[in-house]
Amino acid sequence: MDGAARIIGARTGARPARPAPMRRAIRARYDAAQTITENRKHWAMADSLSANASNSASVRKTLRDRSRYEVANNSYAEGILKTLANSTVGTGPRLQLLTASEADNDKVEALWSEWAQRVDLAGKLRLMRFTKAQDGEAFGLLVTDPAVPLGKVALDMRLVECDRVMSPTGPTLDQPVDGVLLDALGRPRAYQVLRQHPGDPSFAVTMEADLLPASAVLHYFTPTRPEQVRGVPEITSALPLFAQLRRYTLAVIAAAEVAADHAAVIQSDVPPNEEGPVEGQAFDTVELEPRMATVLPQGWKLGQMEAVQPTTTFPEFKHEIINEMARGLSMPFNVAAGNSSGYNYASGRLDHQEYFRSLGIEQSVIERVILDRLFAEWIGEAVLIEGFLPQSFRSKRPILHQWFWDGNEHVDPEKEANAEETQLRSGTTTKAERYGRRGRDWRVESGQRLAEDLVELEHTAQRLARARELGLPDSVVIQEKPAAPAKPAAKPAQDEPEPSEKETADAA
């Protein structure tokens, strides 16, 4: 560790050495650690590079370029990433404040919702989630929008491509990570952001960059190794699979076209030195009329090319390779393929549990990396505007809050409703938990339900008064709900002998 960083609990004083106990040497062998002829080529590319050296600028650029190309030309790759972004973000997170004043909470939540709509927060979060899977990382810059009128929060989040976050001079000893300056504890303290995209036609050769503090940059990526600073595409391991699926699909189509067309080979039994009735050169082409029989010259034979292609295994191959491509994203096959024809209800529920769990984890990362920081910046600017926030929010730090996301609809609403009713009666769940799973605030929903009940009671009272004026019975307005059908009594077991007195005593 650097001299400025201190390991908690580390001791600097030397301890007296104690004699080492006698131990018997143990020889252990791992098959995977043996380099033999069969696995030499398979492990030839394994290395001992660090996380940042493995994810160098050139490596990340190559992976980004290939990932973007595949997403742009492979409908499955694009559909999987769009589904992932839509499932994670949905219509956007909703803020719920947890202070004592409900009225103040409602006012601030409404102000935040108005700001989120104006800056298109949900759309930017979906793009960041898509970009993180495609490019490996996404960057958002906290900026001030000069077009916002006075009296409003001018904070905004500007998204930039990760290509712009790089060092103009390349990695150095003082800055080993491209575009990121680290402090003594290995945390980002500043980012170098190019003023132009390196891929722009008008990109300047000077490569001018701005040094932005880490407090003004939102860096969204998922590290897979300790000390990793930059991200790589989440579909890196699946890139060869996407290419194989496209190649196999094109091969099957080509085989079908060969079988459908009159592709043939003309052979001649006439020796090369002898003059035949028709002369022809090697690899000449002859056009044949479709759906028409023809007569070949003497000594010539026509042989049609057979499309020897295992087209019957194409659905199985496609199923398995899509399943493998989506596994790295914790996405089940039916979601990745957009096809649940081979699923039953239990299988669909089981496969979706892990997918929904991974979505919840990703949402918590977005809350910590992006939303909480945005909310803190928004509050910090809002308190400077006179009369914008309630007085109770001008002194509290931090402000207790939580985020609600879109819920996941159940496939069978009737079963879900019965299960919720049973859990609420048994006390194994709460309304806050049940509404929270749907991305709703239980207080808002309960208040709305109470308001609807009051309106319904008022309408019922008005209809009763009108019916009585007309001399009609109350049953015209109020209809009793039919009683639930009684469950049939269990039939006594047939051919089951009565227990003897001895058996009854033994059972007691």
Q: In angstroms, rounded to a whole number, what is the distance separating the alpha carbons of residues 140 and 157?
A: 6
Buried-state track 236-266, b at ≥16 Cβ within 10 A, e below 16? bebbebbeebbebeeebeebeebeeeeeeee
Same domain? 222 vs 262: no
Last residue of a domain, one of 382, 408, 434: 408
| Within-domain flag for 63 | yes
Same domain? 101 vs 158: yes
Same domain? 173 vs 129: yes
Closest CA to 138 of 102, 89, 201: 89
In three-state secondary structure terms, 223 is coil
Buried-state track 279-310, b at ≥16 Cβ within 10 A, e below 16? eeeeeeeeeeeeeeeeeeeeebeeeeeebebe
| Within-domain flag for 205 | yes
| Within-domain flag for 87 | yes
Same domain? 354 vs 387: yes
Same domain? 303 vs 260: yes
Helix-helix angle 239-260:314-327, to 10 degrees? 160
Same domain? 348 vs 471: no
Using one digit for the tens of pLDDT, what is the confidence trace for 417-450?
777 778 878 878 777 666 666 656 667 777 777 7
Last residue of a domain, one of 352, 381, 408: 408
- 113 close to 123: Cβ distance less than 8 angstroms: no
Using one digit for the tens of pLDDT, what is the confidence trace for 82-126?
999 999 999 999 999 988 888 999 999 999 999 999 999 999 999
Same domain? 308 vs 209: no
DSSP letter for 185, please. T
Last residue of a domain, one of 388, 408, 428: 408
Same domain? 109 vs 198: yes
Same domain? 158 vs 114: yes
Q: Which residue segment(s) compose the domain that 466 sits in?
A: 444-476
Could you identify the residue written with the tokens 């006698």? 22
Structural domains counted in the chain: 3
Average confidence (pLDDT) over 13-25? 64
pLDDT score, position 305: 60
pLDDT score, position 382: 95
Q: In angstroms, rounded to a whole number, what is the distance separating the alpha carbons of residues 61 and 198?
A: 11
| Within-domain flag for 33 | no
Mean pLDDT of the chain, nearest integer? 82
pTM here is 0.76
| Within-domain flag for 44 | no
pLDDT score, position 311: 60
Average confidence (pLDDT) over 463-487? 70
pLDDT score, position 325: 95
| Within-domain flag for 279 | no
pLDDT score, position 242: 94
- 396 close to 406: Cβ distance less than 8 angstroms: no
Same domain? 59 vs 169: yes
Q: Around 505, how many Cα atoms within 13 Å sit in the side-chain half-sphere?
A: 3
Same domain? 212 vs 333: yes
Same domain? 316 vs 332: no
Q: Of 170 and 40, which is predicted with more confidence?
A: 40
DSSP labels for 12-61? Answer: -SPPPP-PPPP--------GGG---TTTTTTTTT-----HHHHT-HHHHH
Q: In angstroms, rounded to a whole number, what is the distance separating the alpha carbons of residues 476 and 435?
A: 36
Q: Residue 398's pLDDT band (boundaries 50, 70, 90)?
A: confident
